[in-house]
């Protein structure tokens, strides 16, 4: 995996952010199971609730193209080391329990995490499968 390429793509995506209300730009780039890269930016809407984060934009683009496994994601924002929000952490979990998360300010200044570090004791698809199995066993 070329971490620097993923970071470069996130930086490029950040420039496309539509943020007329907060002015806070975020870009993300994900690496799928077959080494394709999809990027995304945050998009704000005046009524706020339909706003979408960069991470989810990139993930949903990949999923809409048939990819359901994320190997890595790079995130770049206007703050010093911008981390994914809770909703984005859960979406990352859905498509990649073993995803490497790269939080970057630049190609040289980044931190890397396992999802478990950012979302311990997470809930995922296998939890629903085990609950369904338990109901059938009763």
CATH number at residue 53: 3.40.140.10
Round to whole Å and give the CA distance between 50 and 66: 24
pLDDT digits (tens, 9 = 90+) for 100-117: 999 999 999 999 999 999
Whether 133 has a pLDDT exceeding 70, the answer reads no
Residue 112 known to be catalytic: no
Predicted pLDDT at 50: 92
Residue (of 31, 13, 38, 3) closest to 99 by Cα position: 31
Whether 135 has a pLDDT exceeding 90, the answer reads no
Please pick, among 55, 65, 108, 134, the residue that the annotation labels catalytic: 55
Domain count, the chain: 1
Q: What is the 3-state secondary structure (H, E, C) of the chain?
A: CCHHHHHHHHHHHHCCCECCCCCCCEEEEEEECCCCEEEEECECCCCCCCCECHHHHHHHHHHHCCCCCEEEEEEEECCCCCCCCHHHHHHHHHHCCCCEEEEECCCCCEEEEEHHHHCCCCCCHHHHHHHHHHHHHC
Could you tell me what percent of the chain has a pLDDT over 90? 86
Range of the domain at 60: 3-137
Q: Which two tokens stand for residue 111?
A: 């931190």
Whether 80 has a pLDDT exceeding 90, the answer reads yes
């Amino acid at each position: 995996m070329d971490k620097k390429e993923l970071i470069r793509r996130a930086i490029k995506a950040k420039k496309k952010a539509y943020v007329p209300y907060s002015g806070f730009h975020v870009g993300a780039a994900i690496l799928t199971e077959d080494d394709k890269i999809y990027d995304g930016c945050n998009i704000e809407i005046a009524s706020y609730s339909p706003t979408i984060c960069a991470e989810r934009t990139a993930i949903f683009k990949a999923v809409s193209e048939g990819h359901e496994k994320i190997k890595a994601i790079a995130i770049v924002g206007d703050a010093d080391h911008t981390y994914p929000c809770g909703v984005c952490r859960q979406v990352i979990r859905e498509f990649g329990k073993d995803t490497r998360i790269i939080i970057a300010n630049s190609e040289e200044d980044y931190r890397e995490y396992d999802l478990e570090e950012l979302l311990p004791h997470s809930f995922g698809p296998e939890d629903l499968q085990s609950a369904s199995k338990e109901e059938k066993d009763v």
